[in-house]
Structure 1
Amino acid sequence: MFEIFRNEKIFHECEIQSLRREKNQVKEVMSGLECGIVLSKFNEVVQNDRLEFFVREKSEKKS
């Protein structure tokens, strides 16, 4: 999952459909390396947008 920030505000939240590094589909890319991203149901990223990636984990409720 990730959030797209535009003008310092959350503009959209979506999932990654595909992640590529050097024409190969990959599951992760190390920090500082270039990659290509296909977004799920969103294609309006513009220059100066900021993408923040995170993992959403489910937690068990404590009784």
Structure 2
Amino acid sequence: MLNVDYFYSVPMILAYYVCLILWILLLLALETTLLWALLNPLNFGLIYNIVFGIFYQFKKRNKT
């Protein structure tokens, strides 16, 4: 079974951030509307992973 530390390590949080930026740039390159590029459902999943991962790292560092 996979550990949560793998999904929310610092390199993975940075990877989620890079994927989010590249996804938005791809949508803009495909000439979608700016509103759709920013409010795309995949963006919410990536933003959730970034925010949850940051809070997970803070909580993990405060425990030790």
TM-score, normalised by the number of residues in structure 1: 0.24
Higher share of residues assigned strand = 1
TM-score, normalised by the number of residues in structure 2: 0.24
Higher share of residues assigned helix = 2
